[in-house]
Amino acid sequence: MNYNEQNIWLKMALATALLSVATAPAGLAADKSRDKNIGLEKGGDKDLPEGRFCLNGSLAFNIKANFYNLGGFARQTAIGTAGVAGDQFFDDGYNKVEGLGFPDSRTFRWGYGDASQLAGGVANMSSSTSVANVSSLHNGGGEPQPGFDLSYFRPVGKLKRGGHWGIGAGFNYLAINIQDRRGLAGNEDRLTRAFSTAGSTVPPTPTPPYDGEAGGFNPATRILNVSAGADTLTTVIGGAAINGLRELDADLFALKLGPYFEYPLGKRFTVGGGGGFTLAVLDSEYKYNEATAITGMLATPAVAGAAMPTVTGLPASNTQTHIGSGSRSGVLPGLYLDLRLGCEISRQWSAFLGGQFQYLGDFNQSVTDASGTVRGARLELGAAFLVQFGLGYTF
């Protein structure tokens, strides 16, 4: 028997034990005392309805999922250091040490991808990143989550106007699945480094995309290998497009115990309600498969890596993919309140329709992906409402 099967049998055993306690006659025998102020009345078993099992189907609403630390775009190239000679690679170009022994720190080994990069006597080259800090909130609140409820109701005492009260116990299961496919946007952090083109023939030549290393030595196209001034950092709001799937798939097993009441409405109908404590076990899996694209970066095949195939160290795409999954289980204590309407079909069978409010709080889990980013998910169970419908058997 594997670990998951052992968990299921253990949870079923706990449910059976709780139902056995609730249905035991010991301690439930009533005396003849009466409290007229609150309308409660105790009597012998012959004065009370018989015990009843109920099996209901459930549809749970207002269960929501939040997803955190989405997106993310890591720097793709080795950009070197501003103001220091060396091989420097960017998303839209490169500038490498010439290596021919000239003392002027100029180089023909450079390239760029778009004409907009040449302006004001400099060649601008950039490298973009994006922080994984985007959230997607309140997913799935309007989607029904299916399940079932098995309950036993044990009458204990009488109420005025033909009603009675008792103890109810039950086992509840919900299969929860919430998916988020919304397109999101994060901020792009763009670093730009400028290299002086003074003394060269550019612009108007060379024309983009240009790969100077592939063309060989050309004195007319030599530019400085050392950048002109410090790097410029720019934040582009919404510059990182995030698309894909985030999903929470969970099994909720809950035991409940508490008092209930029931009144007759004519000969065939009843109305009742109750409340009490619930104890739930949640087994949840969080998985995601999403892609982050820097929209301002030249897309394949015009990015530097595709436009300049002879140069290693350049990116070939403006998109990075993030895939991960993880599971977690936990125990959630809570409360419930319910209200139901019954209709007698025969002496032993009844049909029921009702609603239940359930509070279990929030459940958090996280997954650490290959880049070290911790991506979080939160399942909101603090205000779930269940629509229940089913049959009851009296014996």
Please report the domains of the chain, with CATH numbers, ordered by start residue.
Answer: 3-394 (2.40.160.20)
Predicted pLDDT of residue 298: 60
Amino acid making up residue 275: G
Residue 277 β-bridge partners:
257, 335
C-alpha span between 92 and 30 (Å, rounded): 85
Q: What is the pLDDT of residue 301?
A: 39
Nearby residues of 111 by Cβ (< 8 Å), 6 or more positions away: 93, 94, 209, 210, 211, 212, 213, 214, 304, 307, 308, 311
| Rounded Cα–Cα distance for residues 92 and 118 (Å) | 12
Q: What is the pLDDT of residue 18?
A: 40
Structure confidence at residue 204 (pLDDT):
64
pLDDT at 8: 43
Cα 13 to the center of its chain, rounded Å: 31
Q: Is the peptide bond before 209 cis (omega within 30 degrees of 0)?
A: yes
125-138 burial: b if 16+ Cβ within 10 Å, else e: bbbbbbebebebee
Global pTM reads 0.81
Q: What pLDDT is attached to residue 295?
A: 87
CB 114 within 8 A of CB 125: no
What is the distance between the alpha carbons of residues 207 and 220, in angstroms, rounded to a whole number?
Answer: 14
Nearest to 267 by CA among 348, 340, 344: 344
Pairing between β-strand 349-359 and β-strand 232-265 as defined by DSSP bridges: unpaired
* Contact indicator for 123, 112 with CB cutoff of 8 Å: yes
- Dmax over CA atoms of the chain, in Å, equals 112
Return the pLDDT at 46.
57
Which mean pLDDT values do the consecutive 10-residue runs of the chain (395 residues) have? 43 43 38 41 62 96 97 94 93 91 88 86 93 95 94 95 95 97 96 91 75 86 89 96 97 98 94 97 97 78 62 85 96 97 95 97 94 94 96 93
